Amino acid sequence: MTEAILPIVLIVLVLVGIWAVVEVALTMRSARRDVSTLTSSAREVIEQAQPVVAKLDGLMDELEPAAKHVTPLLEKTEVAVSGATVSLDRVNGILEDVSSVSGAASTVTDAVKGVAESAATGVAGVMSRLRGGSSADEAAALPQTQQTAPESKPEPEAPTRYVDYGDITAPAAAQDEPAGEKDQEEA
């Protein structure tokens, strides 16, 4: 029985071998066609890329001299930025000095203002005493701190005094003319 099976197995093996050879031949043919298509596509891409590569090569040749100048330019920029930083530090110091001077000036201004207000209040008080008392208008003219400050002792009223300026008379011609005509003549 093994002898009868052996020729059948050999025939099957020969048929499988023939089938395998046909498949390999068909696969090779298909691969050759695909490689041919791929090769033609690659050639087209290379042909299209060659002008771009040539332009990039020319661009690199043009940029090479400029690239040599970039490093010194960056160094100069660094020096300029450092100088600007130093200048800004100096300006900051000056502004601090100005701030302290303006603070001192503000203090002096406040002190002078206080002295002027005190003097004005004193003069207003003296004037009110000379007139014979203070009116409501004068009280409104006094600074707010002066109005709200309680008086410790009421001061006695001074006697009313009048100032005598002497006899003031205008020339007779000037008294006869109306004031509007006199102003027009002077102009």
Complete DSSP assignment for 128-166: HHHHTS--HHHHHHS-HHHHHSPPSSPPPPPPP------
Residue 19 CA from chain centroid, whole number: 83
**61 found inside a domain:** yes
**Alpha-carbon gap, residue 143 to 100, rounded angstroms:** 29
What dihedral angle (degrees, nearest 10) is formed by the CA atoms of 33, 39, 41, 45? 180
pTM: 0.31
Measured CA to CA, the distance from residue 61 to residue 53 in angstroms comes to 12
CA distance 110 to 118: 12
| Claim to verify: residue 52 and residue 95 sit in the same structural domain | no
pLDDT tens per residue across all 187 residues of the chain: 667 888 889 999 999 999 999 999 999 999 999 999 999 999 999 999 999 988 988 888 888 887 788 888 888 888 889 888 888 888 888 888 877 777 777 888 888 888 888 888 888 888 888 887 545 454 555 555 444 444 555 555 656 666 666 666 655 544 455 555 544 554 4
Structure tokens of 103? Answer: 């603070």
- State whether 58 and 11 are in the same domain: yes
Looking at the fold, whether 56 and 25 belong to one and the same domain comes out as yes
CA count, 13 A, side-chain hemisphere, 15: 6
With CA atoms as reference, report the closest residue to 128 among 138, 118, 119.
138
Residue 176 maps to a domain: no
**How far is it, in rounded angstroms, from Cα 132 to Cα 162?**
11
Output Rg (C-alpha) for the chain, integer angstroms.
57
pLDDT of residue 35: 93
**49 and 94 housed in the same domain:** no
- Indicate whether 16 belongs to any domain: yes
Together in a domain, 5 and 36: yes
Residue 165 covered by a domain:
no
Q: What is the DSSP letter of 39?
A: H
Q: d(Cα 2, Cα 91) in Å, to the nearest integer? A: 111
* 98 assigned to some structural domain: yes
CA distances (Å), origin 174, targets 24, 42, 169, 183 = 141, 118, 10, 11
The whole domain housing 12 covers: 1-67
Tokens of 24: 């390999």
Residue 50 lies in a domain: yes
Q: Is 1 in a helix, a strand, or coil?
A: coil
Q: Total domain count for the chain? A: 2
Please indicate, yes or no, whether residues 56 and 94 belong to a single structural domain of this protein: no
Is residue 51 domain-shared with residue 105, that is, in the same domain? no
Tell me, yes or no, whether 102 lies in a domain.
yes
Q: Is residue 80 part of a domain?
A: no
Task: For residues 61 and 20, state if they share a domain.
Answer: yes
